[in-house]
Amino acid sequence: MAKLFQLEHKAVLATPTGAFSQVLSKVFMNLDKILPAFYAVIVPITIQVVVGVTFIGILYGWVAAIQLLLFAAYTYVAYLAAKLAAKRNKDMMTVMFSEWGKILVICVVNL
């Protein structure tokens, strides 16, 4: 967030119309989703994995290692899928910013 306020005036003016305001709105709209997601999803899953691996490790020994490997493989595949989705979303947002800028320019010219 601090980085946005450290941008030079030229960088802000050179940004396509609508892109800067869209970035600001995305930052503020997503702040209220990050922490609840962290406490509602990431922390409980981590606790469940630790408890599950410990419990299975005590009861079955080496089976816990297989469980941990499967969990690590699943996490890696989910990470790759999220990375691809983020790239696709970034590309779509770039196109949307470009079109939004064109619409605003047309609206301003027609005023």
Residue 60 scores a pLDDT above 80 = yes
Give the span between the Cα atoms of 78 and 71, in whole angstroms.
Answer: 10
Does 10 reside within a domain? no
Query: Looking at residues 67-90, what average pLDDT do you find?
Result: 91
- Higher-pLDDT residue of 34 and 80 is 80
Integer angstrom CA distances of residue 27 from 19, 34, 41, 75, 82: 12, 11, 21, 26, 19
pLDDT band for 94, please (50, 70, 90 cuts). confident
pLDDT at position 62 is 84
Does 27 reside within a domain? yes
Q: Which domain holds residue 89?
A: 16-109
Counted domains in the chain: 1
Closest Cα to residue 48, out of 71, 82, 65?
71
Does 53 reside within a domain? yes
Residue 33 scores a pLDDT above 80 = no
Query: Looking at residues 14-25, what average pLDDT do you find?
Result: 65
